[in-house]
Structure 1
Amino acid sequence: MNHPHPAPVDLAAAKRPFPDALLAALKALLGERVSTAAAVREHHGRDESPFDPIAPDAVAYAHSTEEVVQIVRLCARYDVPIIPYGAGSSLEGHLLAVQGGLTIDLSEMNQIVSVNAEDLTVTVQPGISRKTLNEGLRDTGLFFPIDPGADASIGGMCATRASGTNAVRYGTMRENVLGLTVVLADGRVIKTGSRARKSSAGYDLTRLFVGSEGTLGIITEATVRLYPQPEAVSAAVCAFSSMGDAVQCVIETIQLGVPVARVEFVDGLAIRAINQHSKFTLTESPTLFFEFHGSPTGVHEQAETVQALASEHGGQGFEWATQQEERSRLWSARHNAYFAMLQLKPGCRAVTTDVCVPISRLTECVVETEQDLKASPLPCPIVGHVGDGNFHVAILVDPDKPEELLEAERLNQRIVERAIAMGGTCTGEHGVGLHKMGFLVSEHGEDAIDVMRSIKAALDPRNLLNPGKIFRMPA
């Protein structure tokens, strides 16, 4: 497979005109909540991907579903692309305005609409972040568990089908979104799903929009599942002599049915970065981070079982963190691993990739990946939510050295092709965006991609919603 590093500059050559009449109409509608300032546009034309920024022509800040409808109808009238924006934390170029257009910033639509504690659900606007949501739920005894690391917006998490450290126990956004309010490309508003736990009524439109990366509609409300805050929580860290031993310990933990809430893998290089960044003194070798939720007795039994398994696989220094402050510090260090890893090579960019494979192939996949990375001159730390077969590689490159970008894409191709060959996927949670477009055909086949294009054409026939992402439409 030939999958060169994507070239957004070339894609930007297809930029569509942005009429003065549209800008005037938007300003009449929103006033100062429309900006063409260079700094604002550039901020909205970059994410955490390795790509250079591609700014939109203008940015509009929406405050309601009704405003989104009016903005969309204006853009449709003038045939101008629309890129939804939440927190800007995506990793695969989702936000780049490759055909120009208007970024619609939903971050100020950040309210909890209603909490239905008895039903264990909450309805929110898309701009609310996961941390803000959980702060708002603190007094209810409930929490929203999906935790991708970054303080992402709920709308963005729906759009990318996010997951994270808790997915091994609580699932991903796919399992936890019950219903959506969506503005379509022509300004129609639809509501998908309901607050009921299940339904057999028609096509599952909720799942269609979850993971659509802003290409099918703009999410303006989401109803998601909540869970009782656990009675007891305990965390632990354990170091291993090899990646294979650490991952095999996780596989056996899952296969035994131990209901761990989190189990994260961090390789020795990433541990070095965490130690430097967060002032830890962890052993610089492959390490597992565990967290257990439940009753005090249940948590103790889970932890004892896992500790015994870890010992069988050579795990050393099983350290506990039972106080909330200790646990928070530990998981904060894990969540900040991406930024810590960037410090391993000052001035670098991270070409990130994530894959997911069946749990039975995880050890083989991780060990073979490690061999590829050790043979490369680039620093390439690995972290992963290995409890569900998902791991991430941050390939650190000097953006001024084209040969390093080529080497990063060579490694990315090896990692992804291996995962697909093992029955896995080219992206477990980052999404496709620009970066993984070349791998979709290998994973799904041409006919499946044609079906995706047909859905896109049916809902967005003029290709106005986040064009140029996931797959290319026919000219």
Structure 2
Amino acid sequence: MATSAMLVARDDAAIETAVARLTERFGTRCATGEAIREQHGHTTTYLTNQPPDAVVFASSTEEVADIVRTCAEFGVPVIPFGTGTSLEGHLNAPAGGISIDLSGMNKIVAVNAEDLDCTVEAGVTRMQLNEHLRDQGLFFPIDPGADASLGGMAATRASGTNAVRYGTMKDNVLALTAVMPDGSIVKTGSRARKSSAGYDLTRLLVGSEGTLAVIAEVTLKLSGIPEAVSAGVCPFPDVESACNAVIMTIQSGLPVARIEFLDEHQVRACNAYSKLDLAEMPTLFLEFHGTEAGVAEQADRFGEIAEEFGGGPFDWATKTEDRSRLWKARHEAYWASLRLKPAAKGVSTDVCVPISRLAECVMATRADIEENGFTATMVGHVGDGNFHVLVLFDPDNPDEMAATDGFIERLNWRAIEMGGTCTGEHGIGQGKMKYMAREHGPALDIMRTLKRAIDPKNIMNPGKIFTLDG
């Protein structure tokens, strides 16, 4: 499967000099071994691994700035690395360069419980933060499937199962500390919940995928742990009925916290992998947050909606262990799906469409899967029109690879033509670059202008999001 790359010339002499300088400065924290370099390239899905020339383990914002200044001096690419869970080749080094591993920057700098916010270093993971917050009655709601770093989640504008109620990273990042391409350290935004002061640089960097700056610290909104939480499972006779129930739920204004779709193939995979015993039918996983009376009323109302579309029975529970088991299975869906076709590779892709087009898009995608005889699963954060497809294929079979590539292309064009986007949360990286022109049109040139202005040497994660040459 081919990927486009931003036209970046590799300069071996410059890279060698920069690595020598960084080794002198950081000693054993500048690693050049083949295994560790490959670990810091792309490893998650089908994209070819393109390792950096060295990996430097940073322990502070000042060290990140020092690394970037060295790279800027010699025109060497910089690739930020959090936990390595991205799916679209964000971590690859197509022109070589230096991977900055931020996992050691894992301090929770401050928690301001009264203001419902906190500041963390970029390497703090979402699970680490929530473990720290639990005793204070607070939590951070954005939960992509992996235990990703919060800096990486900001860089890729991550989302998750709670997005329908709590939003995505763009809605929950108040401010950033970032290292710019010249090595300068800037702070964007403040802890205030609103501002009219100048350009919104925070939103510019959130979702920029490391192409404009290295995010070193993140200030986040927090939420109170709700008084009552209930979760439930509801099967449906077919995919269309499940999607239409979702649309009705959202259009009715029911304040659902999570509403996740799993097709029958994904349910079968989760049953086997996570030891569930669900009916192997298109299924919705739901969760409601609020007061005891509120969540009971919300669950009852959803049960009525489900019944209208032939769904049910709607089984729900309030015990923490039952909810945790359910959502653990949902987060393990990727690994569960891989078991459906041993020795196959999986390519996971996502799109997002207006909620009114959800059923149409999902049904067309399922028809495409069946017409081509793919082994594939579908899941989705369908409350906001976002769904994922994981296609399993034999990497040694060129015909299967070509067919999978064609399917992914059709899916992305379909979503864009329906007024949607080629990615709701995975990001662009290398894997989705070819869809950007159709989705954004002339606006893509404005992105290129910003990139050139902020990163004139093109050292910040080059080869991602779009080409500079148009």
Shared fold by TM > 0.5?
Answer: yes
Decide whether aligned partners of structure 1 residues 388 and 247 sit closer, same or farther in structure 2, where only a CA change above 3 A counts.
Answer: same
CA distance in 2, matches of 1:125, 1:33: 19
* C-alpha contact (below 8 Å) 1:384/1:390 kept by paired residues: yes
Question: One-letter code of the match for 1:164?
Answer: G
Give the unaligned 5+ runs of structure 2: none
Do residues 469 (structure 1) and 464 (structure 2) align? Answer: yes
Q: Name 2:265's counterpart in structure 1.
A: 269
Q: Larger RCO: Structure 1 or Structure 2 (Cα < 8 Å, ≥ 6 residues apart)?
A: 2
Q: Name 1:455's counterpart in structure 2.
A: 450
CA distance in 2, matches of 1:77, 1:236: 56
CA distance in 2, matches of 1:450, 1:309: 45
Q: Name 2:144's counterpart in structure 1.
A: 148
Question: One-letter code of the match for 1:53?
Answer: N
Question: One-letter code of the match for 2:305?
Answer: L
Report which stretch shifted further, 67-76 or 370-379: 370-379
Q: Name 2:91's counterpart in structure 1.
A: 95
Do residues 287 (structure 1) and 283 (structure 2) align? Answer: yes
CA distance in 2, matches of 1:355, 1:19: 37
* C-alpha contact (below 8 Å) 1:92/1:436 kept by paired residues: yes
**1:164-203 alignment runs, 5 A limit:** 164-203=160-199
**Residue 98 (structure 1) shift:** 0.7
CA distance in 1, matches of 2:398, 2:210: 31
Q: Name 2:159's counterpart in structure 1.
A: 163
Could you give the per-residue CA deviations for residues 163-208 of structure 1, whole angstroms, max 9, x where no partner exists? 1100000000011000001100001111111000000000000000
Could you give the per-residue CA deviations for residues 395-414 of structure 1, whole angstroms, max 9, x where no partner exists? 11111112111111111111
Do residues 70 (structure 1) and 63 (structure 2) align? Answer: no
CA distance in 2, matches of 1:192, 1:450: 24
Decide whether aligned partners of structure 1 residues 182 and 338 sit closer, same or farther in structure 2, where only a CA change above 3 A counts.
Answer: same
CA distance in 2, matches of 1:305, 1:155: 38
**1:272-421 alignment runs, 5 A limit:** 272-421=268-417
**Residue 156 (structure 1) shift:** 0.5
CA distance in 1, matches of 2:107, 2:464: 28
**Residue 20 (structure 1) shift:** 3.4
CA distance in 2, matches of 1:19, 1:223: 34
* C-alpha contact (below 8 Å) 1:11/1:99 kept by paired residues: no
CA distance in 2, matches of 1:60, 1:207: 27
Report which stretch shifted further, 12-21 or 409-418: 12-21
From 217, 223, 236, the counterpart of 1:221: 217
**How many percent identity over aligned positions?**
57
Could you give the per-residue CA deviations for residues 270-312 of structure 1, whole angstroms, max 9, x where no partner exists? 1111011011111111000000111000000000000111111
Question: One-letter code of the match for 1:303?
Answer: A
CA distance in 1, matches of 2:42, 2:409: 23
CA distance in 2, matches of 1:221, 1:297: 39
CA distance in 2, matches of 1:405, 1:451: 34
From 28, 31, 40, the counterpart of 1:32: 28
- In the TM superposition, structure 1's runs of 4+ consecutive aligned residues that sit over 6 Å from their partners are 10-13
Decide whether aligned partners of structure 1 residues 267 and 127 sit closer, same or farther in structure 2, where only a CA change above 3 A counts.
Answer: same
**Residue 110 (structure 1) shift:** 0.8
**Residue 418 (structure 1) shift:** 1.1
Could you give the per-residue CA deviations for residues 240-278 of structure 1, whole angstroms, max 9, x where no partner exists? 011010011011111111100000000000111101101
Q: State the secondary structure of the residue aligned to 2:396.
A: coil
Do residues 423 (structure 1) and 422 (structure 2) align? Answer: no
Question: One-letter code of the match for 1:471?
Answer: F
**Residue 14 (structure 1) shift:** 4.4
Question: One-letter code of the match for 1:15?
Answer: R
Decide whether aligned partners of structure 1 residues 161 and 399 sit closer, same or farther in structure 2, where only a CA change above 3 A counts.
Answer: same
Could you give the per-residue CA deviations for residues 39-85 of structure 1, whole angstroms, max 9, x where no partner exists? 11010012323112111100000011100111001111111101000
CA distance in 2, matches of 1:444, 1:177: 24
Decide whether aligned partners of structure 1 residues 13 and 188 sit closer, same or farther in structure 2, where only a CA change above 3 A counts.
Answer: closer
| TM-score after normalising by structure 1 | 0.97
**Residue 13 (structure 1) shift:** 9.0
From 435, 439, 461, the counterpart of 2:435: 439
CA distance in 2, matches of 1:405, 1:12: 25
CA distance in 2, matches of 1:466, 1:212: 10
From 247, 254, 257, the counterpart of 1:251: 247
Give the unaligned 5+ runs of structure 1: none
* C-alpha contact (below 8 Å) 1:12/1:100 kept by paired residues: no
Decide whether aligned partners of structure 1 residues 370 and 215 sit closer, same or farther in structure 2, where only a CA change above 3 A counts.
Answer: same
Report which stretch shifted further, 358-367 or 258-267: 358-367
Q: Name 1:16's counterpart in structure 2.
A: 11
Q: How many residues align?
A: 469
Report which stretch shifted further, 264-273 or 350-359: 350-359
| TM-score after normalising by structure 2 | 0.98
Question: One-letter code of the match for 1:457?
Answer: R
Decide whether aligned partners of structure 1 residues 12 and 343 sit closer, same or farther in structure 2, where only a CA change above 3 A counts.
Answer: farther
**Residue 15 (structure 1) shift:** 3.2
CA distance in 2, matches of 1:337, 1:19: 40
CA distance in 2, matches of 1:321, 1:28: 58
**Residue 11 (structure 1) shift:** 7.6
Decide whether aligned partners of structure 1 residues 19 and 99 sit closer, same or farther in structure 2, where only a CA change above 3 A counts.
Answer: closer
Q: State the secondary structure of the residue aligned to 1:317.
A: coil
